């Protein structure tokens, strides 16, 4: 049974992983989604949204101009996460974004334990069941609604993948 897990997804403004411009988090208790958190984040000076990334997530510099920066969002994130294990689809990316943001703002924090739902999906629905394990492909297979590259939607999808795997769901 999935318990004490928070799924997390970041969107970034550019290739610098300290450029988080949105975060979505979803808390899982007893194989159920019980809470959600979302915030836009103003990236650090000089880390503006580049066209290639805007085309992916649709977040512009104007969207985040009045948003809090990571150092202002972090206390709320930390409270939401608590002592949970974190979960992300391609967790190495989200783990690196989190650590890069913490480092950029000189926030001392222990490293977090992560579960990767790419690895979870590969284990539970290997090839040829699924041709690949990208988030949108796994969600389509499991019938999970997805507004891809919206941080909250991606975090919710990740949570639902983890729950589906733990419950032994077979997909379509």
Domains of the chain listed by start with CATH number:
5-165 (3.30.420.10)
Q: Where is 11: in which H helix or E strand? A: strand 5-12
- From first to last of its 172 residues, the chain has per-residue pLDDT tens of 777 999 999 999 999 999 999 999 999 999 999 999 999 999 999 999 999 999 999 999 999 999 999 999 999 999 999 999 999 999 999 999 999 999 999 999 888 999 999 999 999 999 999 999 999 999 999 999 999 999 999 999 999 999 999 876 666 5
User: Could you please report the per-residue DSSP string of 123-150?
Assistant: HHS-TTTSS---HHHHHHHHT----TT-
């Amino acid at each position: 049974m999935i318990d004490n897990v928070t799924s997390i997804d970041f969107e970034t403004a550019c290739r610098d992983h300290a450029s988080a411009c949105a975060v979505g988090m979803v808390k899982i208790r007893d194989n159920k989604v019980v809470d959600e958190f979302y915030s836009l984040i103003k990236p650090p000076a000089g880390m503006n949204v580049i066209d290639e990334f805007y085309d992916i997530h649709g977040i512009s510099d104007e969207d985040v101009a009045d948003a809090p920066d990571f150092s202002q969002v972090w206390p709320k994130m930390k409270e939401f996460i608590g002592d949970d294990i974190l979960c992300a689809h391609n967790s190495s990316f989200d783990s690196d974004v989190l650590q890069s943001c913490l480092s950029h703002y000189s926030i001392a924090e222990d490293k977090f334990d992560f579960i990767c739902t790419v690895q979870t999906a590969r284990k539970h629905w290997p090839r040829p069941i699924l041709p690949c394990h990208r988030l949108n492909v796994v969600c389509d297979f499991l019938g999970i609604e997805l507004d891809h590259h919206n941080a909250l939607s991606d975090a919710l999808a990740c949570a639902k993948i983890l729950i589906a795997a733990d419950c032994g769901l077979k997909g379509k």
